[in-house]
């Protein structure tokens, strides 16, 4: 039996309910985590990414409520059989690491997650995907690694039994230790418990020496403190000084992109590092009423010619849309949208020039998304983030394609209403609302590693707010990081192309005259961290993106220290 150790006065830890930071601050002197440790941990978290350095002091102020914490103390008595270890709780939060280097690694992850769900493990958060060089036994294929956070009513050894069965069912056999395997599922944490039996050790041993485990592990948390991160910090600090401290000692974020570890996104049966260079998404609207090019590409032939032009000018992705989302646009049915879209999509998909390129469908209908993906689309671009079709998230989860979640309030007919333009701090509120939609998508089964985020320039924002978003991309990432590091690492897409706010700033009422302003906006966005830019004029924006890439590479190679001779 796993039994809580009794405290003085007759109380034990099973009587202690989860506490808020304010309750933690008022808790008794018997709690054992020292102020210095918590302060040290908070500081490490706050400086975890350079992009949030300017937010350091507000973060610390927000975390002061957690200066004191509690450490649940447990004693363990083992019965004759290890499988009898029990935790007296209806539901426990668990963290499980995933690894694969045999067969279709991503498919193995998807299958394992489905089997976990059917076995009573509800997944609530996903880390990013990391492709890594093998450790210990180096003469084998590269691994795909990640981790998930979830809840289960399974007892620790029941959970272990379930995961081992999933491994066997998926073809794992006893072989070389640390050798090739189709799937590897390890329990990293089980609630806030420490377990040490003949067949199960929690926290998982050797976590602290493995960057391929630590990177996805820290992804599952946010920089804002919460009860569970406090509990895990207490457990982890017994071994190595703390979760975030251990990650920083290994090298932290500086390890990603080098030393055999890349953060990747699965698209079109490939793993792509979308942070290595900015991708160009060319816009093709097969609509009569889009604000910039409505009516120009209604025939399949004209649409194909425009795609050929954009590809020749350097587009990486073609975004097909058959429904206008300009302000006050009338709404088509899913059937009407499909009637417009599908002939063009099938013709574009079969173009030889599309070899190695990506095809995205711009829709807020799950029916359209499903049909488009079945005919060859690689991504779903949803301007509503799932708000306009309650089935969108669950459908995309089954499609297993990347999902672009954009921020918008209301719908195209209401998004510019005065109530939808009310913000106290547009970047912070957009970040929060965007995070909540991504969180809903995760709970529906879309892993964070398939999410692309878009702050929605031109949607539910006025001119000043659009400018704030454009210059505030690092702040949006840092605000999301407070809640989820994995979502903050998601590729970021911006779409300022020819938008009305550019015309208002530059005095250009005609959309076609806004290309120079678009180039300036794209330049600002790329330098601010955008990974994908959605544009009408591919040629000129491609040059801007290339120059930004060269500048950022030069800065990384020879960072300016502000010193002058």
Q: What span, in angstroms and rounded, lies between the C-alpha atoms of 85 and 1?
A: 5
DSSP-derived secondary structure letter, 490: S
- Token duo for residue 12: 């034990």
SS3 content of the chain, % helix, strand, coil (to 5): 45, 15, 40
| Residues 117/126, Cβ–Cβ less than 8 Å | no
Q: What span, in angstroms and rounded, lies between the C-alpha atoms of 6 and 151?
A: 26
Asked if 534 is an active-site residue, the reply is yes
Q: Could you tell me whether strands 195-196 and 129-132 are parallel, antiparallel, or unpaired per DSSP bridges?
A: unpaired
CA-wise closest residue to 518 among 319, 72, 526, 260 = 526
DSSP-derived secondary structure letter, 281: E
Q: What span, in angstroms and rounded, lies between the C-alpha atoms of 310 and 285?
A: 13
Q: For residue 539, count other CB atoms closer than 10 A to its CB.
A: 15
Q: Could you tell me whether strands 184-190 and 270-272 are parallel, antiparallel, or unpaired per DSSP bridges?
A: unpaired
Query: At which residue do the structure tokens 């990347």 appear?
Result: 402
Q: Is 94 helix (H, G, I), strand (E, B) or coil?
A: strand
Asked if 210 is an active-site residue, the reply is no
- Token duo for residue 478: 């840092």
Q: Who's near 244: CB < 8 A, 6+ residues apart?
A: 41, 44, 45, 48, 218
How many residues are present in the chain? 565
Q: Is 527 helix (H, G, I), strand (E, B) or coil?
A: helix
Q: What are phi and psi of 486, to 5 degrees?
A: -65, -45
- Token duo for residue 465: 């707010």
- The catalytically annotated residue of 483, 498, 499, 542 is 499
Where b means 16+ CB within 10 Å and e means fewer, 217-233 reads bbbbbbbbbebbbbbbb
Q: Who's near 40: CB < 8 A, 6+ residues apart?
A: 242, 245
Q: For residue 444, count other CB atoms closer than 10 A to its CB.
A: 17
| Residues 216/127, Cβ–Cβ less than 8 Å | yes
Q: Is 362 helix (H, G, I), strand (E, B) or coil?
A: strand
* SS3 sequence of 231-254: HHHHHHHHHHCCHHHHHHHHCHHH
CA distances from 246 to 45, 306, 465 (A): 11, 52, 39
- What does the CA dihedral 166, 168, 170, 171 come to, rounded to 10 degrees? 170
- The catalytically annotated residue of 71, 231, 409, 534 is 534
Which parts of 259-378 fold into alpha helices (H)? 300-312, 334-349, 366-374
Which residues have a catalytic role annotated? 499, 534
């Amino acid at each position: 039996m796993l039994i809580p150790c009794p405290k003085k006065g007759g109380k034990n830890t099973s009587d202690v309910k989860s506490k808020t930071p304010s309750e933690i601050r008022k808790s008794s002197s018997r709690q054992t985590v020292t102020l210095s440790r918590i302060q040290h941990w908070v500081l490490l978290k706050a400086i975890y990414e350079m992009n949030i350095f300017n937010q350091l002091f507000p973060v610390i102020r927000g975390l002061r409520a957690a200066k004191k914490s509690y450490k649940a103390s447990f004693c363990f008595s083992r019965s004759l059989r290890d499988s009898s270890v029990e935790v007296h709780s209806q539901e426990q939060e668990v963290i499980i690491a995933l690894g694969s280097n045999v067969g279709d690694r991503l498919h193995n992850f998807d299958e394992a997650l489905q089997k976990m769900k059917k076995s009573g493990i509800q997944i609530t958060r996903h880390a990013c995907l990391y492709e890594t060089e093998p450790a210990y036994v180096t003469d084998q294929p590269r691994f795909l690694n990640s981790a998930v956070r979830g809840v289960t009513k399974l007892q620790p050894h029941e959970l272990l039994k379930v995961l081992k069965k999933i491994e066997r069912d998926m073809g794992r056999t006893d072989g070389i230790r640390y050798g090739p395997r189709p799937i590897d599922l390890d329990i990293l944490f089980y609630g806030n418990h420490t377990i040490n039996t003949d067949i199960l050790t929690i926290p998982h041993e050797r976590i602290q020496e493995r960057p391929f485990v630590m990177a996805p592990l820290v992804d599952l948390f946010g920089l804002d403190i919460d009860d569970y991160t406090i509990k895990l910090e207490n457990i982890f600090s017994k071994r190595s000084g703390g979760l975030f401290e251990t990650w920083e000692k290994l090298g932290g974020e500086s390890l990603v992109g080098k030393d055999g570890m890349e953060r990747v996104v699965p698209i079109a049966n490939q793993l792509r590092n979308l942070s290595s260079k900015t991708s160009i998404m060319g816009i093709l609207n097969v609509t009569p009423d889009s604000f910039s090019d409505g009516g120009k590409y209604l025939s399949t032939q004209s649409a194909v010619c425009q795609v050929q032009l954009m590809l020749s000018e350097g587009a990486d992705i073609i975004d097909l849309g058959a429904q206008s989302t300009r302000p006050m646009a009338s709404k088509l049915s899913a059937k009407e949208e499909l009637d417009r879209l599908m002939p063009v999509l099938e013709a574009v998909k079969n173009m030889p020039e599309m070899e190695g390129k990506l095809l995205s469908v711009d829709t807020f209908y799950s029916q359209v998304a499903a049909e488009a993906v079945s005919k060859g689309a690689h991504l779903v671009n949803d301007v509503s983030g799932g708000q306009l079709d309650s089935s969108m998230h669950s459908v995309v989860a089954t499609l297993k394609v990347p999902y672009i979640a954009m921020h918008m309030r209301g719908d195209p007919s209401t998004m510019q209403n005065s109530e939808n333009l009310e913000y106290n701090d547009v970047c912070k509120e957009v970040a929060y609302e965007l995070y909540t939609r991504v969180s809903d998508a995760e709970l529906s089964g879309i892993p964070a590693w398939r999410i692309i985020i878009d702050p929605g320039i031109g949607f539910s924002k006025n001119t000043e707010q659009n400018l704030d978003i454009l210059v505030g991309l690092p702040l949006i990432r840092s605000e999301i990081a407070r809640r989820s590091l994995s979502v903050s690492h998601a590729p970021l897409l911006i779409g300022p192309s020819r938008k009305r706010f550019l015309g208002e700033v530059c005095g250009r009422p005609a959309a076609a005259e806004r290309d120079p302003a678009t180039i300036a906006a794209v330049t600002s966005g790329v330098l601010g961290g955008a990974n994908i830019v959605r544009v009408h004029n591919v040629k000129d924006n491609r040059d801007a993106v290339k120059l930004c890439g060269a500048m950022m590479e030069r800065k990384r190679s020879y960072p300016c220290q502000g010193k002058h001779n």
